């Protein structure tokens, strides 16, 4: 029997005084990549930020288990050390902090060839730049991917990796994410798992997702084949998803 990499049970989350997530259940096995879809404001990013351990997202009920360990009350750094990583949709700009310096600080493998790795995602010229300062949409995403490549997490969360990115960069980012998720390995050999938020589905061309979920109004309303779900949403929008929840 294989342990589930991530197991979320009955997760309720408040942002401020308001409950935003109302009892999320989600199980992602090792080697699996799941896709999360849903209308704007449905709680997708809230779920990822909560799983990462951001303090503004208060868990009022439920548990998060990662590799068999309860991480519900852990801070972001403790979760990161256990192998949870995230690509942020809108990461902050940090004045004076050079991308190269951060990469060196977070690298576990001090022998890694940083410039070469940065070049592989066309970020070689950004190592001496302040993180995200004046970066374009594509550059922000490539910077995020590069940080994840250095972190090498076992469970990767990706918050709209294709948003604000042109087609050429989607290909580059998509391939890098595919590598992060060990998509070149057979399922039985694959250990990395992931959870991807996408609106367009472009990323599915590079990340062969195993399962799809739809979130509406802070709840996961349906599960299934990710491409079929995407096709339905493209044809009918999210109206039926909401009705699905009511029924």
Partner 1 sequence: MSSQLNTPGIAKDDQERIVQSGIDFNLENRCGSYLQVDQNIVESECREEGIEVLSFKKAMEKHSWLKDYLWKAVSKDKDEITKYVAEQPDPKGYVIIAHKGSKNILPIQACLYLGRETIQHVHNIIIAEEGAELHMISGCASSGHVGEGAKHYGVSEFYIKKDAKISFTMIHTWNENVEVFPRSASIVEENGVFLSNYVCMQPVKKVQMYPTATLKGENSVARFSTIAIASPTSYIDVGSRAILEGKGASAELLTRAITKGGTIISRGQIIGKTAGTRGHLECKGLILKDGTIYAIPEIDGRVVGTELSHEAAVGKLAQDEIEYLMARGLSEDEATATIIRGFLDVKIAGLPEALQKQIDATIDVAEKAGF
Nearer to partner 1, 105 or 188 (CB): 105
Q: Please, which of residues 133-152 interact with partner 1 by CB under 8 A?
A: 147, 151
What are the beta bridge partners of residue 84?
155
Of 75, 185, 234, 236, which one interacts with partner 1 (CB under 8 A)?
75
Pair type for strands 155-159 and 84-87: parallel
Of 4, 38, 39, 85, which one interacts with partner 1 (CB under 8 A)?
85
Residue 109 contacts partner 1 per CB under 8 A: no
Of 106, 225, 239, 243, which one interacts with partner 1 (CB under 8 A)?
106
Q: Which of 148, 115, 3 is nearest to 69 (CA)?
A: 3
- Tokens 């990323």 correspond to what residue? 203
Of 43, 66, 88, 232, which one interacts with partner 1 (CB under 8 A)?
88
Nearer to partner 1, 147 or 221 (CB): 147
H and E: helices and strands count for the chain: 8, 12
Residue 97 contacts partner 1 per CB under 8 A: yes
Residue 194 contacts partner 1 per CB under 8 A: no
Residue 201 contacts partner 1 per CB under 8 A: no
Q: How far, CA to CA in Å, does 76 sit from each of 56, 83, 232? A: 12, 11, 35
Span of 5-13, 50-58, 134-142, 205-213 interacting with partner 1 by CB under 8 A: 50-58
DSSP one-letter string for 56-93:
TEEEEEEEEEETTEE-TT--HHHHHHTTEEEE-SSPPP
- Tokens 């995200």 correspond to what residue? 132
Residue 187 contacts partner 1 per CB under 8 A: no
Are 180 and 207 in contact by the 8 Å Cβ rule? The answer is no
Contacts with partner 1 by CB under 8 A lie at 52-56, 75-77, 79-81, 85-86, 88, 91-92, 94-97, 102, 105-106, 130, 147, 151
């Amino acid at each position: 029997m294989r342990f589930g990499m991530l197991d979320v049970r009955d997760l309720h989350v408040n942002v401020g005084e308001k409950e935003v997530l109302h009892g999320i259940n989600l199980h992602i096995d090792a080697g699996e990549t799941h896709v999360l879809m849903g209308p704007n404001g449905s709680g997708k990013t809230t779920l990822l930020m909560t799983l990462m351990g951001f303090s503004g997202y208060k868990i009022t009920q439920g548990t998060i288990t990662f590799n068999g360990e309860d991480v519900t009350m852990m801070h972001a750094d403790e979760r990161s050390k256990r192998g949870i990583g995230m690509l942020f949709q809108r990461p902050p700009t940090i004045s004076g902090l050079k991308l190269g310096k951060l990469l060196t600080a977070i690298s576990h493998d001090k022998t890694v060839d940083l410039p070469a790795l940065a070049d592989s995602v066309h970020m070689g010229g950004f190592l001496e730049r302040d993180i995200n300062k004046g970066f374009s949409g594509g550059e922000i995403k490539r910077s995020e991917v590069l940080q994840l490549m250095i972190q090498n997490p076992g469970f990767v969360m990706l918050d709209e990796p294709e948003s604000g990115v042109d087609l050429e960069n989607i290909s580059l980012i998509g391939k890098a994410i595919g590598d992060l998720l060990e998509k070149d390995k057979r399922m039985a050999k694959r250990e990395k798992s992931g959870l991807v938020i996408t609106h367009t589905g472009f990323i599915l061309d590079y990340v062969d997702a195993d399962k799809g979920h739809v979130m509406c109004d802070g709840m996961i309303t349906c599960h299934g084949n990710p491409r079929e779900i995407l096709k339905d949403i493209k044809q009918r929008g999210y109206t039926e998803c909401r009705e699905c929840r009511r029924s």
